[in-house]
């Protein structure tokens, strides 16, 4: 299957073909199945923290549960917020955990087997209802837990930076532009994302091949709201005005009154 994916991407894009030749076989495989509640709880714990700190918080959470395994949604809901705070979760993350637990029990966040039956966008729509869970978090679940083949996380820094390096761009691509360009990689955009992550690694190591051809990015119109913000910003800039000088008056007040009287 990976050979078929590699052939498809190489035929669709010469730059991607050179990157594939430099990296080697596609090796992204989904991790062992676990309940989405646990996957999303891990994601919430990792927000704005390095891996070591997040792992410590999660270990304390398991210890606080006392069952030797990851807490259940029922346990998270009934546990006082202060106890979760002692494990290292911030107030915002405690609120997100409790909301995740509640939506799991309400089946907004279904079990792993149920997720397998749902299309990607429906999974995104359901799981992003959880407080603190955005599209990027769900896309990582689609990639690394469910093994979906056609996910392109255009908001991911590594994907955008890898694309910039592999295609010789001067600046980071806008997510909408990257999404438009990535249409040529369908239906294997997950593999393309994996190779873009590897491109960033090669770039840091100094072994990334030069782009096979000069890239012309697709033009994407800005949203009207973005244009309005830019127009409003220009409209609110202070305008430099040239001061108007008043005509100079000559003579004393008595002399001026005398001249007016003679007229």
Does 153 score more than 90 pLDDT?
yes
Does 207 score more than 70 pLDDT?
yes
- From the centroid of its chain, how far is CA 261? 80
- For 2-27+150-205, CATH number out of 2.170.190.11, 1.10.10.10, 3.40.50.300, 1.10.1670.40 equals 1.10.1670.40
**31 catalytic residue (yes or no):** no
Q: Are 2-27+150-205 and 36-144 the same fold in CATH?
A: no
Contact status, residue 154 vs residue 217, Cβ threshold 8 Å? no
- ∠ CA 88-92-93, nearest 5°, is 50
| pTM score of the predicted model | 0.78
The CATH class of 36-144 is: mainly alpha
What is the predicted pLDDT for the residue at 34? 83
Structure tokens at 167: 């295609």
Average pLDDT score over the chain: 87
Average pLDDT over residues 217-231: 62
- Map out the domains of the chain as residue ranges: 2-27+150-205, 36-144
Q: What string of DSSP letters covers 120-174?
A: HHHHHHHHTTSTT--HHHHHHHHHHTS--SS---TT-HHHHHHHHHHTT-SSPPP
- Residues 6+ away with beta carbon under 8 Å from 155: 135, 136, 175
The string of pLDDT tens digits covering residues 49-91 is 888 999 999 999 999 988 788 999 999 999 999 999 999 999 9
Does 239 score more than 60 pLDDT?
no
Separation CA 198–CA 195 (nearest Å): 5
């Amino acid at each position: 299957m990976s050979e078929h994916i590699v052939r498809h991407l190489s035929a669709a894009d010469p730059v991607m073909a050179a990157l594939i030749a430099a990296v080697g076989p596609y090796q992204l495989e989904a991790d062992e199945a676990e309940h989405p509640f646990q996957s999303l709880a891990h994601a919430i714990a990792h927000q704005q923290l390095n891996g070591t700190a997040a792992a410590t918080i999660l270990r304390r959470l398991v210890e606080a549960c006392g069952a030797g395994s990851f807490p259940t949604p029922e346990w998270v809901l009934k546990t006082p917020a202060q106890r979760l705070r002692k494990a290292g979760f911030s107030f915002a993350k405690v609120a997100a955990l409790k909301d995740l637990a509640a939506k799991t029990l309400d089946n907004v966040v279904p079990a792993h087997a149920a997720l397998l039956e749902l299309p990607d966008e429906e999974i995104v729509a359901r799981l992003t209802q959880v407080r603190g869970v955005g599209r990027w978090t769900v896309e990582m679940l689609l990639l690394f837990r469910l093994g979906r083949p056609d996910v392109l996380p255009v908001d991911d820094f590594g994907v955008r930076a890898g694309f910039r390096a592999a295609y010789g761009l001067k600046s980071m691509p806008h997510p909408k532009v990257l999404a438009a360009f990535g249409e040529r990689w369908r239906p294997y955009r997950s593999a393309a994302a994996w190779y873009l992550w590897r491109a960033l690694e090669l770039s840091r190591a100094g072994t990334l091949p030069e782009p096979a051809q000069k890239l012309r990015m697709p033009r994407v119109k800005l949203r009207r709201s973005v244009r309005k913000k830019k127009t409003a910003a220009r409209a609110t800039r202070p305008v430099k005005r040239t001061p108007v000088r008043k005509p100079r008056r000559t003579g004393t007040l008595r002399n001026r009154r005398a001249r007016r009287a003679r007229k």
